[in-house]
């Protein structure tokens, strides 16, 4: 993790937020390269799930919604974590995690009284200072704010803890304003906020993060089949962006582990340096949300089914992934330190589909016709590929710089290029070099980036 955090800062992927003021725990900013990488992941996710299929549409809903949304969804009542404090050093812990870490037992679904009893009977103390722990109580994870100049209970609002609810509340708008019919999905990417008791591990668990969620609406009787089909397509997403198979594992949740709305959930775990941890949750949310919002809003969130000629409440299959967590997974998945003739080479093996740049262009000669040729090649290629132009330092140094940020191909224009109209293309992973005709460059690169 230290290598990854250091690379992320050194190369402008991720910085500690408000660093000049001493930072803020669990808040991070994305730098120039991080922003490009994040946008590339989002764009590729949208391409994979909407353009390469034709049954999923897009939405961008508000972060602050009517508070009734969170009452109907169950977040005000259920979106809680069990909290215990150290009486001596005042450090806060998630009681379930503390018990699980200490006793290796799953306490999902237990009451606060039961967890307090387990802590007392097993003499579990503060891991930091050995102090006595308080009784366990539930703590709601939603960030509260107030609308308008005066703070009181009448103008309370919440920052959304998931993007999903904006999709449910727009269900009628979407079915009425588009030509969607069951089965269809709605994809939304956006910020979510959770007042986590124990955040940490770099950008793995933060207070503010982005989710990429799809709510896929299906006829209830087809929901098991739809779950399997979308799950299979979703698994291909990981191949598509180059996540190694051995870094992924699937864990089906038991009845007590599932969220209150879920009929079936499979969590997709990634092998982080601190163990296999959840990267994505994949759930059958049944008709829970649409029925709840119908009840609270008195609007029937149903769709007319042409086959049965009836109004139905569809079931919802939900793949939900944290963009920041996927970003971290991709850095870890691609990070390699290689030995090249006794020298260390740091390489970020990112798929060309998401790497910040796909092609780096290196003029070897910094003046005259050769430089003009380099510039012409860059100006032409940047219309078709994500390109960077780098004139600084020895060619070896330029290769290392691009290796570290994951650029798959580097093109060098040397003095001979003016004579033979050819350039050298070097591959990031194999370091193999090819000599390619300048007028065949786009064709060559297109072949590489299928
Ligand atoms: N709508 C369903 C939902 O929100 P979740 O399992 O609570 O389900 C989905 O969250 C994903 O969001 C997680 O798998 C994770 O990738 C990401 N996520 C959740 N909390 C996070 C946090 N505090 N920081 C970063 N990512 C988080």
Taking residue 316's Cβ as centre, other Cβ atoms within 10 Å add up to 29
Quick one: 26 and 170 in the same domain?
Answer: yes
pLDDT level of residue 287 (50, 70, 90 thresholds): very high
Decide if 297 is inside a domain: yes
Quick one: 226 and 361 in the same domain?
Answer: no
pTM (2 d.p.): 0.94
pLDDT at res. 252: 95
pLDDT at res. 108: 78
Decide if 345 is inside a domain: no
Quick one: 362 and 421 in the same domain?
Answer: yes
Distance 278 CA to ligand 1 centre (A): 8
| Atom of ligand 1 lying closest to residue 211 CA | 12
Q: List, in order, residues 6 or more apart from 174 with CB less than 8 Å away.
A: 57, 59, 180, 186
Domain end call among 285, 313, 331: 331
Q: Specify the residue with its C-alpha closest to ligand 1, atom 25.
A: 205
| Atom of ligand 1 lying closest to residue 194 CA | 23
Distance, in Å, from the CA atom of 401 to the CA atom of 392, rounded to the nearest integer, reads 10
Quick one: 299 and 394 in the same domain?
Answer: no
As for ligand 1, residues whose beta carbon falls within 6 Å of it are 162, 164, 194, 196, 205-206, 209, 211, 213, 278-281, 318, 320-322, 324-325
The enclosing domain of 241 has a CATH number of: 3.30.930.10
- Determine the average pLDDT of the residues in 412-436: 95
Quick one: 318 and 229 in the same domain?
Answer: yes
- Determine the average pLDDT of the residues in 110-135: 93
Quick one: 326 and 401 in the same domain?
Answer: no
Quick one: 326 and 394 in the same domain?
Answer: no
pLDDT at res. 261: 82
The enclosing domain of 387 has a CATH number of: 3.40.50.800
Query: pLDDT digit string (tens) for 385-402?
Result: 999 999 989 999 999 999
Query: pLDDT digit string (tens) for 327-385?
Result: 999 999 999 999 999 999 999 999 999 999 999 999 988 788 888 999 999 999 999 99
Decide if 340 is inside a domain: no
Domain end call among 331, 347, 369: 331
pLDDT over threshold 90, residue 151? no
Distance, in Å, from the CA atom of 153 to the CA atom of 227, rounded to the nearest integer, reads 41
Distance 215 CA to ligand 1 centre (A): 15
Decide if 141 is inside a domain: no
Rounded to the nearest integer, the mean pLDDT of the chain is: 95
pLDDT at res. 159: 97
- Determine the average pLDDT of the residues in 104-112: 84
Quick one: 180 and 307 in the same domain?
Answer: yes
Phi, psi of 138, rounded to the nearest 5 degrees: -85, 145
Distance 353 CA to ligand 1 centre (A): 24
Q: Which of 163, 167, 209 to mutate to test the pocket of ligand 1 (most atoms within 8 A of CB)?
A: 209
Query: pLDDT digit string (tens) for 162-177?
Result: 999 999 999 999 999 9
Domain count, the chain: 2
Q: What angle do CA 118, 122, 124 make, to 5 degrees?
A: 90
Token pair of 328 as six digits? 């971290």
Distance 342 CA to ligand 1 centre (A): 42
Q: List, in order, residues 6 or more apart from 259 with CB less than 8 Å away.
A: 78, 265, 283
Distance 411 CA to ligand 1 centre (A): 40
Distance 198 CA to ligand 1 centre (A): 14
Q: Specify the residue with its C-alpha closest to ligand 1, atom 24.
A: 205
pLDDT level of residue 197 (50, 70, 90 thresholds): confident
pLDDT level of residue 302 (50, 70, 90 thresholds): very high
pLDDT level of residue 153 (50, 70, 90 thresholds): confident
- Determine the average pLDDT of the residues in 417-444: 96
Distance, in Å, from the CA atom of 24 to the CA atom of 37, rounded to the nearest integer, reads 23
pLDDT over threshold 90, residue 199? no
Quick one: 283 and 399 in the same domain?
Answer: no
Query: pLDDT digit string (tens) for 16-49?
Result: 999 999 999 899 999 999 999 999 999 999 999 9
pLDDT level of residue 76 (50, 70, 90 thresholds): very high
pLDDT at res. 228: 97
Distance 23 CA to ligand 1 centre (A): 23
Quick one: 289 and 368 in the same domain?
Answer: no
pLDDT at res. 308: 82
pLDDT level of residue 319 (50, 70, 90 thresholds): very high
Decide if 107 is inside a domain: no
SS3 labels along the chain = CHHHHHHHHHCCCEEECCHHHCCCCCCEEECHHHHHHHHHHHHHHHHHHHHCCCCEEEECCCCECCCHHHHHHCHHHHCEEEEEEECCCCCEEEHHHHHHHHHCCCCCCCCHHHHHHHHHHCCCCCCCCCCCECCCEEEECCCEEECCCCCCHHHEEEECCCCHHHHHHCHHHHHHHCCCCCCEEEEEEEEEECCCCCCECCCCECCEEEEEEEEEEECHHHHHHHHHHHHHHHHHHHHHCCCCHHHEEEEECCCCCCCCCCCEEEEEEEEECCEEEEEEEEEEEECHHHHHHHHHHCCCCCEEECCCCEEECCEEEEEEEEHHHHHHHHHHHHEEEEEECCEEEEEECCCCCCCCCCEEEEECCCCHHHHHHHHHHHHHHCCCCCEEECCCCCHHHHHHHHHHHCCCEEEEECCCHHHHCEEEEEECCCCCEEEEEHHHHHHHHHHHCC
pLDDT over threshold 90, residue 192? yes
Distance 217 CA to ligand 1 centre (A): 20
Decide if 149 is inside a domain: no
Distance, in Å, from the CA atom of 247 to the CA atom of 257, rounded to the nearest integer, reads 23
Q: Which domain holds residue 443?
A: 357-448
Decide if 261 is inside a domain: yes
Q: Specify the residue with its C-alpha closest to ligand 1, atom 5.
A: 281
Quick one: 287 and 421 in the same domain?
Answer: no
Decide if 247 is inside a domain: yes
Quick one: 305 and 436 in the same domain?
Answer: no
| Atom of ligand 1 lying closest to residue 268 CA | 14
Q: Specify the residue with its C-alpha closest to ligand 1, atom 20.
A: 205
pLDDT over threshold 80, residue 198? no
């Amino acid at each position: 993790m230290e290598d990854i955090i250091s690379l992320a800062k050194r190369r402008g992927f991720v910085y500690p937020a408000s660093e000049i003021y001493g930072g803020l725990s669990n808040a991070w900013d994305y730098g120039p390269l991080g922003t490009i990488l994040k946008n590339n992941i989002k764009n590729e996710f949208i391409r994979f799930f909407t353009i390469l299929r034709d049954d999923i549409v897009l939405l961008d809903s508000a972060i602050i919604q009517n508070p009734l949304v969170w009452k109907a969804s169950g977040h005000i009542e259920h979106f809680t974590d069990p909290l215990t404090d150290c009486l001596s050093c005042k450090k806060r812990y998630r009681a379930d995690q503390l018990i699980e870490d200490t006793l290796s037992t799953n306490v999902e679904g237990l009451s606060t009284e039961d967890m307090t009893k387990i802590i007392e009977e097993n003499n579990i103390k503060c891991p930091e200072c050995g102090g006595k722990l308080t009784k366990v109580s539930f703590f709601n994870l939603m960030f509260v704010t107030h609308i308008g100049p005066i703070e009181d209970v009448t103008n309370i609002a919440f920052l959304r803890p998931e993007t999903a609810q904006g999709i449910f509340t727009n269900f009628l708008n979407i079915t009425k304003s588009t030509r969607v019919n069951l089965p269809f999905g709605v994809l939304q990417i956006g910020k979510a906020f959770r007042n986590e008791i124990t955040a940490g591990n770099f950008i793995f668990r933060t207070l503010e993060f982005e989710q990429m969620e799809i709510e896929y609406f299906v006829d209830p009787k087809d929901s098991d089949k739809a779950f399997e089909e979308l799950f299979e397509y979703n698994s291909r997403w990981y191949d598509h962006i180059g996540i190694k198979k051995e870094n992924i594992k699937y864990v089906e949740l038991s009845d007590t582990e599932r969220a209150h709305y879920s009929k079936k959930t499979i969590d997709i775990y990634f092998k982080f340096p601190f163990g296999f941890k959840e990267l994505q949750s994949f759930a059958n949310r049944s008709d829970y949300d649409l029925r709840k919002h119908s009840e609270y809003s008195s609007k029937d969130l149903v769709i007319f089914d042409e086959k049965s000629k009836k109004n139905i409440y569809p079931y919802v299959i939900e793949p939900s992934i944290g963009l920041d967590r996927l970003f971290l997974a991709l850095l870890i998945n691609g990070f390699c330190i290689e030995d090249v003739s006794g020298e260390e080479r740091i390489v970020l093996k990112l798929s060309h589909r998401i790497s910040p740049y796909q092609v780096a262009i290196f003029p070897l000669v910094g003046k005259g016709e050769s430089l003009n040729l380099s510039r012409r090649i860059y100006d032409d290629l940047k219309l078709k590929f994500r390109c960077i132009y780098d004139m600084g330092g020895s060619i070896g140094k330029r290769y290392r710089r691009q290796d570290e940020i994951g650029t798959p191909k580097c093109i060098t224009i040397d003095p001979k290029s003016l004579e033979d109209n050819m350039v050298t293309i070097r591959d990031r992973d194999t370091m193999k070099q090819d000599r390619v005709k300048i007028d065949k460059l786009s064709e060559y690169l297109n072949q590489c980036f299928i």
